[in-house]
Amino acid sequence: MLRLLGYISQLAMEQQCILPKQYEQITRQVYDCRNLLGAWTVSDRKRFGL
The domain tally of the chain equals 1
For range 29-45, the mean pLDDT: 95
**Domain carrying residue 12:** 2-48
**In percent, how much of the chain has pLDDT > 70?**
100
For range 4-26, the mean pLDDT: 98
Q: Is 33 a residue whose pLDDT tops 90?
A: yes
- C-alpha separations of 20 from 24, 27, 38, 46, 49 in Å: 6, 10, 27, 39, 43
Q: Is 10 a residue whose pLDDT tops 80?
A: yes
pLDDT tier at 14 (50, 70, 90 boundaries)? very high
The reported pTM is 0.80
For range 7-32, the mean pLDDT: 98
